[in-house]
Chain A
Amino acid sequence: MNKLIALLLAVLVFVGIVYADDITVTDENVVAEQTTTPEVSFSYIFPDNQDKNFAAGSVAEVLVGFTNKADKALNITHIYASLNHPQDSSVYIQNYTRGDFGIAVEKGHHATLAYRFVPSEYLEPRQFGLLISLEYQDGAQNYTLTFFNSTINITEKESSFDMDSFFLLILGFAVMGGVGYFVYSKMPKQKKVRRTVSKSSSVAKVETEADTADWLSGTSADKSKKSIKKNK
């Protein structure tokens, strides 16, 4: 009988551990560490970035669940985020705009808060640390709690214009042009029929400036005048 009970306890503990691992989103440990903090619980989700991959230059949204378990109303004032070095969170790479909420959550109530930020499009695609904090107050004291402190991946923004495909297209055109030129050069050349049109001699003779420019005699320009006459 004792063995059976021990087995049941072991199964219970195992199931508890498994379930505790599953609930990675809800993070009540953070609250437990703050002894003076009013009893609240947080949860969060990145609806469009659940795999923690964020495209540089795109809007990222986080939904924060705030449950007021205290015996009085709490006022959520701000949510803010920052992008930090993945190994050293004291190195700030980007600070995102602080969202002013000013929302009162009654005791026993729950609120979902949406916070948006845009990682810079100039960020290199690699790992960064992301810190998201929430500030709230109970009328007497302000509290700040960082509910998300983890490493995320910044990825390249998906674009319809891709340099690789652009150069591939140019290469394709070049190959086509080369093939076209090769085929054209191998084709038998047609004899070109030249039509010689005899110029009519009935062109009205117009006295040019050179013919009438006597004042040019004795100058270097006079030679050209003479050569023109010789040609005639």
Chain B
Amino acid sequence: MNTKTLVSVFLILFVSFVYSQKAELLFQKKIVEGPVVGKHLPIQFIIYNVGSDPAYDVSFIDNDFISADFDIISGQTEGKWETLAPGSQVQTNLTVEPKKSGIYSLTSTVLNYRKSQHDSEFTVSSAASYSGMYVESQADYEKRTSLLVKEIIVFVLLCVAAVGLPYSIVSNYKKTYENSIKKN
């Protein structure tokens, strides 16, 4: 094997090695708190680069919360970054307020990025979850989490009535009678 062949093999291997390094992005829509009608709901959009090369021209757009059923309080439903290093992550926050209870599917997030500097084509990635987001109504939420003040007050009143009535009769009897004989 002469020198030229070795150099060409080396170049081919090097180029193929460089081109095989690609970025791979995973998208997470993180909703920690349970959504309730009329309550602020913080949402995190997190993008992880699990590949071995930086991703370029990363952008995403989410259309799940751009509807009449949600009010956007703060944050944005889209984001853009020039590069995302391998093993790192970026995130944006969004706060919405649900206006209607029900189940909403969380499927319409689209992520665009270039896998390497040499790629001119954009990789299109969609984010999906099999479980929809259940927005709880205010009444259900109150029923589930309230301190049950009304119920406790009614319970105390019933207890007072059940204990207080016999007690008042006994105390009245003791005041009026002594040894079963009515006091003068």
Residue numbers of A with Cβ under 8 A of B are 1-2, 5, 8-9, 12, 15-16, 19, 22-23, 25-26, 43-45, 47, 61, 63-65, 67, 79, 99-101, 103, 105, 108-116, 204, 206-209
| Cβ contacts under 8 Å, B7 to chain A | 5
Interface residues in B113-138 by Cβ distance below 8 A to A read 123-131
Tell whether, in the assembled complex, residue A43 and residue B24 are in contact, meaning their CB atoms are under 8 Å apart.
yes
Asked whether, in the complex, the Cβ of A109 is within 8 Å of the Cβ of B126, the reply is yes
B48 within 8 A of A: yes
User: Is A110 in contact with B129, judged by CB distance below 8 angstroms?
Assistant: no
Could you tell me if B50 and A110 are in contact, using CB atoms closer than 8 angstroms?
A: no
The minimal Cβ–Cβ distance linking B121 to chain A, given in whole angstroms, is 8
Cross-interface CB contact of A16 among B10, B17, B29, B125, cutoff 8 Å: B17
Task: Report chain A residues within 8 Å CB of B46.
Answer: 47
A9→B10 contact, CB < 8 A = yes
| Residue contact B3 to A2, C-beta cutoff 8 Å | yes
B135 to chain A, nearest CB (A): 18
Q: Given the complex, which residues of B lie within 8 Å of A63, measured CB to CB?
A: 26-28, 48
B178 near A: Cβ within 8 Å? yes
| Distance between B162 CB and nearest chain A CB, rounded to angstroms | 32
Task: Report if B181 contacts A (CB, 8 A).
Answer: yes
Bound CA–CA A112/B107 (angstroms):
10
Q: How far is the CA of A108 from the CA of B115 in the complex (A)?
A: 12
| Assembly CA distance A207 to B181 (angstroms) | 9
With known contacts A9-B10, A101-B128, A23–B52 Cβ distance under 8 A: yes
Beyond A9-B13, A63-B27, 15 extra complex contacts between A and B, CB < 8 Å: A1-B3, A15-B17, A19-B21, A26-B51, A43-B50, A43-B51, A63-B28, A67-B24, A101-B130, A108-B124, A109-B126, A111-B126, A204-B184, A206-B178, A206-B181
Does B146 lie at the interface of the complex (its beta carbon under 8 Å from any beta carbon of A)? Answer: no
State how many angstroms separate the Cβ of B71 from the closest Cβ of chain A.
25
Using A5-B7, A209-B179 as known contacts, say yes or no to A65 and B50 having CB atoms under 8 A apart.
yes
Asked if A12 and B13 make an inter-chain contact with CB atoms under 8 angstroms apart, the answer reads yes
Kindly state the separation between the CA atoms of A64 and B127 in the bound complex, as whole angstroms: 10
Q: Is the CB of A100 within 8 A of B28?
A: no
A112 to chain B: which residues have CB within 8 Å?
25-28, 111, 125-128
Bound CA–CA A12/B21 (angstroms): 14
B130→A111 contact, CB < 8 A: no
Asked if B50 and A111 make an inter-chain contact with CB atoms under 8 angstroms apart, the answer reads: no
Nearest residue in B to A100 (C-beta to C-beta)? Answer: B130
Known: A43-B50, A65-B24. A110 touches B179 (CB 8 A): no
In whole angstroms, what is the CA distance A209 to B51 when docked? 100
Q: Known contacts A12-B17, A114-B29, A116-B131: does B48 contact A19 (CB below 8 Å)?
A: no
Q: Which residue of B lies closest to A76 (CB)?
A: B128
Q: B50 and A45: CB pair below 8 A?
A: yes
Residues of A within 8 A of B3 (CB): 1-2, 5
Q: Is the CB of B26 within 8 A of A45?
A: yes
Chain B residues closer than 8 Å to A16, beta-carbon distance: 17
Any A CB within 8 A of the CB of B171: no
**What chain A residues lie within 8 Å of B51 (beta carbons)?**
23, 26, 43
**Given A5-B7, A12-B10, A12-B14, CB of A99 within 8 Å of CB of B123:** no
Q: Which residues of chain A are within 8 angstroms of B130 by Cβ–Cβ distance? A: 79, 99-101, 113-115
In the complex, whether B180 has a CB less than 8 A from a CB of chain A is yes
B111, B130, B131: which has the most chain A beta carbons within 10 Å?
A: B130
Q: Is B6 an interface residue (CB 8 A)?
A: yes
Chain B contacts of A65 at CB under 8 A? 24-26, 50, 125
Q: Cα distance A138–B14 when bound, in Å?
A: 35
Give the CA-CA distance A9 to B7 in the complex, in Å: 9
